[in-house]
Amino acid sequence: MLRIIVERSMDSAVLRCSGRLVAGEEVLRLREVVMCLADKRSVQLDLAGVEAIDAAGLGLLISLHTLGHAVGFKLQVRNPVRRVCELLKLARLESVLDIPPSDETEVQSNAGASSSDGHFGGALKSPTYIKDKLFARPESHSPRSAPLPRR
């Protein structure tokens, strides 16, 4: 299960993610949350608590990056744990995505620390919070949005 805590300011938002970013509800939930924040100038995904990511999660990061360019916000991926960072490098996504080096990432890579050192700690009552309120999701299943046309 993916848990998301959203912190908003006037022109930016930070999404603190923890859990697994894998195909299914997790990917759809993160996409919905980011799309609701498309009016911001900067959206930061803090992946410090994401312990696993699969191809759907990697694809979502690229999709959100593309959405940001189309809509006008800058997507930044922050604090990926070592395992996620290695997958991003393996897929050569670090050259596409904006992933600033963090002090914690540098310490882990230099000291050879385990990936559990960067995990997000904290008990969450609900999967998604926005200013301490549950993220409202429609009860009925709406049709998925059509993919952007290729050029």
Over residues 54-113, the pLDDT tens digits come to 999 999 999 999 999 999 999 999 999 999 999 999 999 988 998 888 655 444 444 443
Are 39 and 70 spatial neighbours (Cβ–Cβ below 8 Å)? no
Whether pLDDT at 143 is above 90 = no
Give the CATH class of 2-122: alpha beta
pTM of the model: 0.67
**E-strand stretches of the chain:** 2-8, 12-21, 42-53, 74-78, 128-130, 133-134
Are 131 and 8 spatial neighbours (Cβ–Cβ below 8 Å)? yes
Whether pLDDT at 6 is above 80 = yes
State how far the Cα of 84 lies from the Cα of 70, in Å rounded to an integer: 26
Average pLDDT over residues 1-29: 95
Over residues 105-117, the pLDDT tens digits come to 444 444 443 334 4
State how far the Cα of 90 lies from the Cα of 114, in Å rounded to an integer: 18
State how far the Cα of 57 lies from the Cα of 29, in Å rounded to an integer: 11
- Extents of the domains making up the chain: 2-122
